[in-house]
Structure 1
């Protein structure tokens, strides 16, 4: 070839090499920042740069000798043009320098490298955190996708709702919201409290769809007046820590900002996590008031808080570094999961500082949200000592409203214990009711009347047992199909303020004067002998009735007699609950005993009593007095 051809070839090669170099510099940021906290405008610019470079490369390959001068001119112009695009992209991405973005973890660095234990020094979560992008976030909100709405029976599901920018169907950070179909939020109403489920999976697998295996619990929550949500968050293989807690905070911020759309009370948000999800739930509960893990680039308004008002932690990890070192831990799973969580490459190990920053124990203070800590004592994946450590730390810090439940049998993630279980569900509801008081049965007004509380009768055919309950949460749970209890209806009414659990001294003065109602002797058949004298007229105005349970025979006895309660306790009976009723007047509640099945029950209907006695049941006398079914209120 002549000199002209050689010159042309040299220029073409140089141009191609320049384009390849620019392609590398442009594509690398696109891929590195794909999971990072970057404004959508910057990400779009980077993607546009990628497309422009590809087009430029195709133009170069199609150049001909006949277009030599034009090609040379184009080459000379293309290079700076692409550099200008890269420069513009850098400028846009650099707009986050006030909160430098970690392109590996997707975390926003707010100057908290030494933040462990210093969350109290952060700004109030209800105000702007001073980020450079805060004003832009408030000034130009983007309407998020609403996902897909599905009505299935009594449940309305808003599925696959993106909770952070970019608001698109391709977004991986999505959530599902479940509402009861018969629930309507009146204008001006604050809505219902929401329980946000955070799935487990050792931070390395899992999905919001895990909640589909826990629908019995979802149904109970919905029937009890709660909204339920389930969220995805970035897994460790996608983005190392702290991307997981960033996403959880963003999900809560989204739900709070869009509370009216889903019938949610933005001031009553609870998080419920299992395993790794419990770790994240506890992290949220102990970092209330801090913006350390808030992703200010998530597209939600900067002033919206990520605070939660309650935490339910199921078999969670409170001290990350200790997981795998305690008796009962699954060592291999712990080591693998923690290394992946912190983005540790093969042959290396995460640092103690990393583990401390990611541990709920680091941030425990008296300001922690109310918590219910649940963990099976025979857990062989995460030692239950992890939860014991959290309980002790919260107690020492002076945190309020901390409840615990450590069932002896509770394998890790076992839904038969932690989901489809009457005791578990009632504990969840009792805790939430305490934190989020709602207008329920037995409320009082400011006049001169008090609403009475209905007592429901349940029957379990497998054990041929009757149970009576005045507790709203217990009746909701027992009424679920999976429990095996048949809800027979309201049989009488009592006074409000029934306790959720047993009292240590259920007698007061009224019980001592009630000895004539039911005697304290226990027959050989576990029946209670009694006379027919009824309740003494010398009784005070109210009496407390205890429900005693024989866990061996599954029999129940209801009594207000202190001596009888003590005798039953010595014989292994357990006091499960109490309710308060009138000492005299109203209707008489008789206690009957079946000598053939060793079962007791209560009746308020004379016709039913005579029918049972015809089948061999024995009338043990008047156990207590109550209000008729139709007496909805009484005078003070």
Structure 2
């Protein structure tokens, strides 16, 4: 079992403390995966990698491959709107860069890994920073204008995206543009690994196709892995080991880590 350090890393003025859980494989200098949970920006926990997938098959699997994993909190949309969550990611990264080495993590080799809403945050943070080795994006919203056209049965002002932005994308176009990774792609960004179920009813697969196309158009390395029949949070996928292995192999490549040392 990996060791787990729970630590408060920031307390934005007027808000609750924000914490992270740092799991390490024991050996010093482990490349660092910074994980951001899903939940539509309005719920979720750093304790859960993906609903329905336990620690042994998620966090522990990554640590067993020789990586440190920092699972980070951020303010939810009922607490603060975009871009507060990116400030929270920056605060977590700052703590890890200052203190990670004390706990065996090499914060000079960071990969951001996000799920759903957390994938949007991981993508945006990776696109705006120059110290990230790569981004793993699992089925994250990438173009909030296109997401606004996706039928959810909710009123436009009640969707998860609108609650995060402070209103529908059409009413807040500049904010929606800044919160859309597909519209923020630029040359020099870190490489991306994107995996998405083709039967996802909550975040259409077309969102990941749009992000991959935008990244490729500016020369950014990207691998897009469609998962036939996969639904949101990998529902309908009997064996999730394969999607974890794809992502872990990507993390190893971009951090220069030899997985064979940990098999």
TM-score, normalization by structure 2? 0.89
Report the 3-state secondary structure (helix = DSSP H, G, I; strand = E; otherwise coil) of the residue aligned with 1:381: coil
- Residue in 1 that maps onto 2:9: 163
Matches within 5 A, 1:438-453: 438-439=257-258, 441=260
Match of 1:251 among 82, 87, 92: 92
Higher relative contact order (CA 8 A, sep 6+): 2
Show CA shifts across 1:449-485 (max 9, x none). Answer: xxxxxxxxxxxxxxxxxxxxxxx88xx5xxxxxxxxx
Find the aligned partners of 2:92 and 2:189 in 1 and give their Cα distance. Answer: 19
1:184 Cα deviation after fit:
3.6
Q: Does 1:378 align with 2:199?
A: yes
Q: Which 4+ residue blocks in structure 1 deviate beyond 4 angstroms?
A: none
1:245 Cα deviation after fit:
1.3
Q: Does 1:422 align with 2:246?
A: no
Checking the alignment, whether the CA contact within 8 Å between 1:162 and 1:171 is kept in structure 2 is no
Structure 2 stretches lacking a partner, 5+ long? none
- Residue in 1 that maps onto 2:75: 234
Find the aligned partners of 1:287 and 1:166 in 2 and give their Cα distance. Answer: 21
Name the Cα RMSD after superposition: 2.5
- Residue in 1 that maps onto 2:21: 176
Checking the alignment, whether the CA contact within 8 Å between 2:110 and 2:255 is kept in structure 1 is no
Match of 1:264 among 73, 92, 105: 105
Q: CA, structure 1 residues 344+231, in 2 after alignment: closer, same or farther (shift >3 Å)?
A: same
1:440 Cα deviation after fit:
5.5
Matches within 5 A, 1:255-294: 255-289=96-130
Find the aligned partners of 2:80 and 2:257 in 1 and give their Cα distance. Answer: 40
Match of 2:136 among 312, 315, 319: 312
Q: CA, structure 1 residues 437+416, in 2 after alignment: closer, same or farther (shift >3 Å)?
A: farther
1:359 Cα deviation after fit:
1.1
Find the aligned partners of 1:416 and 1:378 in 2 and give their Cα distance. Answer: 9
Q: Does 1:323 align with 2:169?
A: no
- Residue in 1 that maps onto 2:231: 411
1:176 Cα deviation after fit:
0.7
Task: Say how many residue pairs are matched.
Answer: 258
Q: Does 1:204 align with 2:50?
A: no
- Residue in 2 that maps onto 1:97: none
1:322 Cα deviation after fit:
1.3
- Residue in 2 that maps onto 1:553: none
Find the aligned partners of 1:210 and 1:330 in 2 and give their Cα distance. Answer: 24
Q: CA, structure 1 residues 214+379, in 2 after alignment: closer, same or farther (shift >3 Å)?
A: same
Checking the alignment, whether the CA contact within 8 Å between 1:282 and 1:311 is kept in structure 2 is yes
Checking the alignment, whether the CA contact within 8 Å between 2:183 and 2:214 is kept in structure 1 is no
Bigger radius of gyration among the two = 1
Checking the alignment, whether the CA contact within 8 Å between 1:198 and 1:208 is kept in structure 2 is yes
Report the 3-state secondary structure (helix = DSSP H, G, I; strand = E; otherwise coil) of the residue aligned with 1:163: strand
Match of 1:341 among 137, 147, 164: 164
Report the 3-state secondary structure (helix = DSSP H, G, I; strand = E; otherwise coil) of the residue aligned with 1:211: coil
Checking the alignment, whether the CA contact within 8 Å between 1:288 and 1:369 is kept in structure 2 is no
TM-score, normalization by structure 1? 0.38
